[in-house]
């Protein structure tokens, strides 16, 4: 029996069968994905094959090959990754310039990971209803920066905007992954887009200006007009995973474009002579923040460190 994993609650999986039923299943014995070292063998979005044991409990015995997946590096496991979701068509990063702050370091690491796994990413700067004048100016600057690179960017208020139908239209007919920090408004936005779904939302710690976890497990929700959205727990940070040396620059589109003019093919864009990327940074053709994020990831990839957002 073929099924789709729609929720992961640790060692139990909620799966939707081809005849429309949602059942709870377990993984049959120890299972390792071919060539992938991960903390979780199954992720939301995986297609699996099941059979029932003698007691009628569905057991997952096979995982179909993934067309893609999105990962992060757990803070306590330097040599493994955690698969957030599989078989996704697009990623929406829900970011906030305040309440809580989403740093450019986090955004850049997130986007580089999306580039590495060939998943189109769009940034939504949420909570415009809470912007101060300074917040608005900063959000405008960030939107201009990332639009110039080639990413879709939108400023929204999941609470205050009367019409968010354009967001829903972007999600039709595919699988959309929502991600970002706790408190950025992922669940609030989903509640607006799918009436009646009632995702739990939380408050911001006024002392730390950070969100508190409300979504505990990743879950796939069906859209009324066709397609799915995957709601995920808040992510604190990203570590570089399997991104090393020259390859890392490929995941920063503007750095990769200038790197073609470097004197050396294996240039790491730090202090090599004839580096076109360094010249572009000095000439403000590449943002200093983006270049700093690249150097940070390059450093992390050499020693396996994890960097919080």
**Per-residue confidence (pLDDT) for residue 216, from 0 to 100:** 61
Cα end-to-end distance, the chain, whole Å: 41
Q: 183-235: per-residue pLDDT in tens?
A: 899 989 998 888 777 555 544 444 344 444 445 688 999 888 889 999 988 78
**Per-residue confidence (pLDDT) for residue 124, from 0 to 100:** 98
- Residue 18's contacts (CB-CB under 8 Å, 6 or more residues apart) are 1, 2, 3
Give the mean pLDDT of the chain. Answer: 85
Q: State yes or no: pLDDT of 177 exceeds 70.
A: yes
**What is the rounded average pLDDT of the residues 234-251?**
74
Asked if 2-63 and 246-308 have one fold, the answer is no
pTM of the model: 0.86
State percent of the chain over pLDDT 70: 82
Best-predicted range by mean pLDDT (229-233, 239-243, 277-281)? 277-281
Which has more pLDDT, 42 or 154? Answer: 154
**Per-residue confidence (pLDDT) for residue 206, from 0 to 100:** 45
Q: State yes or no: pLDDT of 114 exceeds 90.
A: yes
**Cα angle 200-230-18, degrees, rounded to a multiple of 5:** 115
**What is the rounded average pLDDT of the residues 300-307?**
56
Q: State how far the alpha carbon of 286 is from the alpha carbons of 47, 149, 279, 301, in Å.
A: 40, 9, 9, 22
Q: State yes or no: pLDDT of 109 exceeds 60.
A: yes
Q: Which range is least confidently modeled, 23-37, 41-55, 136-150, 155-169?
A: 23-37
**Per-residue confidence (pLDDT) for residue 31, from 0 to 100:** 59
User: Which residue from 6, 18, 16, 74 is spatially nearest to 45, judged by alpha carbons?
Assistant: 6
What is d(CA 271, CA 225) in angstroms, rounded to the nearest whole number? 52
H or E segment and range at residue 299: helix 288-303
CB 249 within 8 A of CB 259: yes
What is d(CA 199, CA 307) in angstroms, rounded to the nearest whole number? 29
Give the model's confidence band at 246: pLDDT under 50 very low, under 70 low, under 90 confident, else very high: confident
Q: 120-135: per-residue pLDDT in tens?
A: 999 999 999 999 999 9
Output DSSP code: residue 129. G
**Per-residue confidence (pLDDT) for residue 79, from 0 to 100:** 61
Cβ neighbourhood burial of 118 (10 Å; 0-12, 13-18, 19+): exposed
Q: State yes or no: pLDDT of 276 exceeds 90.
A: yes
State percent of the chain over pLDDT 90: 59
Q: Which CATH architecture has domain 246-308?
A: Orthogonal Bundle (1.10)
Give the model's confidence band at 12: pLDDT under 50 very low, under 70 low, under 90 confident, else very high: confident
β partners of residue 199 = none
**Per-residue confidence (pLDDT) for residue 184, from 0 to 100:** 92
Quick check: helix, strand or coil at residue 243? coil
**What is the rounded average pLDDT of the residues 143-160?**
96
Q: 57-106: per-residue pLDDT in tens?
A: 899 989 999 999 998 766 555 566 788 999 999 999 999 999 999 999 99
Phi, psi of 177 (to 5 degrees): -95, 125
What is d(CA 306, CA 74) in angstroms, rounded to the nearest whole number? 8
Q: How far, rounded to the nearest angstrom, does the alpha carbon of residue 42 sit from its chain's CA centroid?
A: 17
Superfamily (CATH) of domain 69-238? P-loop containing nucleotide triphosphate hydrolases (3.40.50.300)
SS3 of 100-125: the string is: CCCCHHHHHHHHHHHHHCCCCEEEEE
Residue-range domain boundaries for the chain: 2-63, 69-238, 246-308
Give the model's confidence band at 148: pLDDT under 50 very low, under 70 low, under 90 confident, else very high: very high
**Per-residue confidence (pLDDT) for residue 202, from 0 to 100:** 47
Query: Which fold is adopted by the domain 2-63?
Result: OB fold (Dihydrolipoamide Acetyltransferase, E2P) (2.40.50)
Phi, psi of 188 (to 5 degrees): -60, -45
């Amino acid at each position: 029996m073929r099924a789709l994993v729609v929720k992961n609650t640790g060692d139990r999986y909620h799966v939707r069968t081809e005849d429309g039923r949602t059942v709870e299943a377990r993984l049959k014995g120890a299972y390792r994905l071919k060539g992938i070292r991960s903390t979780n063998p199954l992720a939301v979005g995986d297609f699996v094959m099941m059979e029932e044991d003698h007691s009628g409990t569905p057991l997952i015995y096979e995982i179909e090959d993934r067309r893609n997946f999105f990962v992060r590096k757990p803070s306590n496991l330097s040599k493994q990754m955690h698969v957030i979701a599989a078989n996704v068509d697009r990623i929406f990063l829900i970011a906030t310039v305040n309440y809580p702050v989403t740093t450019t370091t986090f955004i850049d690491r997130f986007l580089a990971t999306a580039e590495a796994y060939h998943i189109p990413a769009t940034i939504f700067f949420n909570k415009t209803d809470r912007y101060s004048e300074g917040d608005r100016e900063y959000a405008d600057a960030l939107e201009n920066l990332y639009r110039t690179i080639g990413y879709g960017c939108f400023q929204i208020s999941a609470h205050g905007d009367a019409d968010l139908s354009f967001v829903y239209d972007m999600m039709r007919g595919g699988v959309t992954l929502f991600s970002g920090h706790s408190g950025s408004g992922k669940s609030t936005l989903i509640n607006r887009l799918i009436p009646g779904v009632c995702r739990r939302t939380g408050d911001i710690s006024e002392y730390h200006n950070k969100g508190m976890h409300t979504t505990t497990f990743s879950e796939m929700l069906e859209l009324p007009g066709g397609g799915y959205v995957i709601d995920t727990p808040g992510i604190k940070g990203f570590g570089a995973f399997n991104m090393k040396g020259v390859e890392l620059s490929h995941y920063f589109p503007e750095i990769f474009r200038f790197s073609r003019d470097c004197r050396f093919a294996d240039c790491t864009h730090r202090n090599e002579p004839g580096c076109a990327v360094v010249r572009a940074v000095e000439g403000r053709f590449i943002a200093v923040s983006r270049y700093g994020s690249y150097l940070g990831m390059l450093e992390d990839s050499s020693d396996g460190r994890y960097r919080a957002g």
